[in-house]
Amino acid sequence: PPSKLLRPARRLRFYPHPEVDPIPLRNKLLEEKKAIKSLSYKKTGTTIVGVKFAEGVVLAADTRATGGSIVVEKNCEKIHYIAPNIYACGAGTAADTQFVNLFMSSNLELQRLNSGRQTRVSSYITSTASLLYRYQGHLGAYLIVGGYDVLGAHL
């Protein structure tokens, strides 16, 4: 039955053990044998990811909001509702991301009510790209958009 397919996702939490090295054990062993040199990495803050598959799209994001090296909020929603069939993961300046998503969500809702049809994902992407271009890089909103429409799944 469809009710089993449309279960809300559980929020997964990951608490790393303080003694566990973030570099996987296999890479560490290869590095010790001088077989490879590990790439350096830098923690940059937000983690957002989207995966597209035949039947749909999965979006995921962390919940921590940071200001530099200080954790400002531990339970920040980074997956934003745009339309019944479209969601967006946001990274960057929280206020800019929220502004872009609320502005576009309200515009698409008006479009959906006027046309009587489901909003297409490409419509959201085109409108959002136009909005971001208009501000010429002064908006710090970085988005991964996922949705499903009459043309199928989009990421």
Q: What is the pLDDT of residue 75?
A: 82
pLDDT tens sequence across 44-66: 678 899 999 888 899 999 888 87
Res. 29 pLDDT band, cuts 50 70 90: confident
126 is catalytic: no
pLDDT (average), residues 17-45:
65
Query: Which residues, including other chains, have CB under 8 Å from residue 76's CB and lie 6 or more apart?
Result: 63, 64, 65, 94
CA dist 155 and 146 (Å) reads 4
The answer, yes or no, to whether residue 127 has pLDDT greater than 80, is: yes
Choosing from 44, 46, 63, 93, the catalytic residue is 46
CA dist 89 and 59 (Å) reads 7
pTM above 0.75, yes or no: no
Looking at per-residue pLDDT, the higher value among 94 and 7 belongs to 94
Q: What is the pLDDT of residue 4?
A: 43
Res. 135 pLDDT band, cuts 50 70 90: confident
Indicate the SS3 state at residue 43: coil
pLDDT tens sequence across 72-104: 778 888 899 999 999 999 988 888 999 999 999
Domain 45-154 - what CATH class? alpha beta
The answer, yes or no, to whether residue 11 has pLDDT greater than 70, is: no
Q: What is the pLDDT of residue 5?
A: 45
Q: Which helix (H) or strand (E) holds 26?
A: helix 25-32
